[in-house]
Structure 1
Amino acid sequence: MPKPIAEQTLHTPEGLRPWIAGVRTAAYADPPEEALVRLPDAVTRVVLRVTADGHRDVLAVGPRVRASYHLGKAESTCVELGLLPGTVRPLLGVPAAELVGRVVPLHELPGPTPRRLAEELRWLDPREAVPRLEQSLPGLLSTAVDPGRAALLRAGVAALSVRTDRTPAQVREVARELAVSERQLRYLFAEGVGVSPKQYARIDRVRAVVTGAPDTPWSELAASTGYFDQAHMTSDFRSLMGVPPRSYFSGRLPAVTPCRAGGRG
């Protein structure tokens, strides 16, 4: 089984919760003994990265629809701020769909807010980024989040996500429950998440399989994560992870590539 990139989830301060879904740190060191994997991820992130030689980047990292496997990289430390659904355009100046598969220097995005946010974060010690941002983020915003649209979108995200107490709903069921058309739901997701409702659900299910597979039989895992059957789970997993589940968990992986700081990933 490949080695996940080392991450630690931090407490999200109350003052950031209207915009930030979660905060985590990530540490990278060269060379790892095994391939590092980046799982598919439907969250857009703002990342402050500091390398061992002092180089600093503030990046917008868009949703990732397929896994990637990497060799080591120069030692670096990152603080990653996951944006809540519906906050990408107010904070970053673009709809989330424009960032899918991309890593972009934050100051290159349009509008004043990304540039001011990049300036605010760039020279901070990573440990200072979260408390400083809690103080400054409300004053940096040039466009307010639409609370009605954000609430609708987040209800859709919650309904399509895997939970321990229920299987995720189907897209048509979610649209009906929210009293919108499936087309309207797709637009909301493109704008505020970056991927379609169906693609979001696929990513979330595959991530749940990666988390649950070591302890749960395949057929039981397929049922609990919303798949029709084990064959459906295997097909989705292969599409997003590049290999079927048994190959992934036994370490038979696609070719690895060097980690990249920018461009498409």
Structure 2
Amino acid sequence: MRSLVMPPALTRWVAGIDVATAAGSPVVDVPDHATTLLLRLDRSELIVMGPRTRAAYHVGTPGRSCVRVRMRPGRAQALLGRPLRALADRALPLRELPGLDVDRFAADPVAALVETVADRPEPAHRLDEAARLLTVVGVATTAARLHISERRLHTLFTDGTGLSPKRFARIDRLRTVLAADTGRWSDIAATAGYYDQSHMTAEFRHFMGVPPAAFTAGRHPTASPCTT
């Protein structure tokens, strides 16, 4: 996997871009609250992948390459021109994306995306602020600090990310654990915002299919062939 450097104009829209090539070995796609644009380079096929609420363990076809663009909260909604509420755990082909030339995208993903978003108004930052707050406080407090109702917050998230605020926060905590350096599980649980280590272990098993100690030791569920 090779990560691409993005200019400031693109970082307001995109959390990361990489070019990945399957090596035929098992791969883990961890849960993710982001929507991803994926271009299959062997077919010039553009796919939108919604938030992933469970880990996927698979083996890709050796040599198959793709460009992956992980969008920031709310940006995929603005780019696609539609709410994301039905997109969680789904991968849908896109016939076209207005303003994006697929051949140009394959040749130079960064430049193609910069051109695509250049004339688009940037979405309001309320969802950005809500996502930031949810990493440190609960749903009720987030809604109160934004001066909106919890129902309005729920609509904002399901339309803008495809997830409820609570599930968005749960996945974010899990990703904090996955990104943690070595350390005591109790300390990692506290840093990620869990009640205790038992709470973290139960959540980890729910999303990843195995407890954290088994996962870090490489004892993963059996990988299946990649179908995307």
TM-score when normalising by structure 2: 0.91
User: Cα deviation per residue 1:119-172 (whole Å; 9 max; x = unaligned)?
Assistant: x02x23735121133124335x5xx4542xxx11110111223xxxxxx22222
**Cα distance in structure 2, aligned partners of 1:49 and 1:72:** 12
Partner SS state of residue 225, structure 2: coil
SS in 2 for 1:177: helix
**How many residue pairs end up in the alignment?**
228
Of the candidates 25, 41, 48, which is equivalent to residue 32 of structure 2? 41
- Quote the Cα distance in structure 1 between the aligned partners of 2:80 and 2:62: 27
Alpha-carbon distance, 1:20 to partner: 2.2
Distance 2:31 2:156 in 1: 20
Matched, 1:131 2:131: no
Distance 1:215 1:135 in 2: 41
Conservation of the 8 A alpha-carbon contact between 1:19 and 1:84:
yes
What's the counterpart of residue 194 of structure 2?
227
Residues in 2 aligned to 1:18 and 1:230: alpha-carbon distance in whole angstroms: 35
Q: Structure 1 residue 249 and structure 2 residue 216: aligned?
A: yes
For 1:117 and 1:238, locate their aligned partners in 2 and report how far apart those are by CA, in whole Å: 41
> Structure 1 residues 125, 83: closer, same or farther in 2, change over 3 A?
closer
Determine the C-alpha separation between the residues in 2 that align with 1:43 and 1:182.
21
Q: Displacement, 1:186?
A: 1.0
Identity within the alignment, %: 36
Query: Aligned partners of 1:255 and 1:191: how far apart in 2?
Result: 34
Match of 2:22 among 1, 21, 28: 28
Q: Residue 98 of structure 1: SS of its match in structure 2?
A: coil
Aligned Cα RMSD in Å?
Answer: 1.9
TM-aligned CA distance change 1:222 to 1:180, over 3 Å: same
Q: Please state if 1:13 is matched with 2:1.
A: no
2:68 corresponds to: 80
Give how far 1:176 is off. Answer: 1.4
Q: How does 1:122-161 map to 2 (within 5 A)?
A: 123-124=103-104, 126-139=106-119, 144-147=121-124, 151-161=125-135
SS at match of 1:46: strand
Q: Which runs of 5+ in 1 are unaligned?
A: 1-6, 108-113, 162-167
Equivalent of 2:171 in 203, 211, 217: 203
1:116 aligned residue: 98
CA distances 1:204-254 after superposition (whole Å, capped 9, x unpaired): 111111121x51210000000000000000010010001111111122222
Contact 1:39 1:67 in 2 (8 A): yes
Contact map agreement 2:14 2:72 (CA 8 A) in 1: yes
Matches of 2:16 and 2:38, distance apart in 1: 12
Consecutive aligned runs of 4 or more in structure 1 exceeding 4 Å deviation: none
> Are residues 1:104 and 2:92 paired?
yes
> Would the aligned equivalents of 2:78 and 2:123 in 1 still touch at CA under 8 Å?
no
> 2 CA distance for matches of 1:178 and 1:9?
34
Cα deviation for residue 17 of structure 1 reads 3.4
The SS at the match of 2:224 is coil
- Name the CA distance, whole Å, in 2 between partners of 1:87 and 1:211: 24
* Aligned residue in 2 for 1:61: 49
CA contact (8 A) 2:105 2:112 kept: no
Contact 1:86-1:145 within 8 A present in 2 as well: no
Give the whole-Å Cα distance in 2 for the aligned partners of 1:146 and 1:92. Answer: 12
Q: TM-score, normalised by structure 1?
A: 0.79
Match of 1:180 in 2: 148
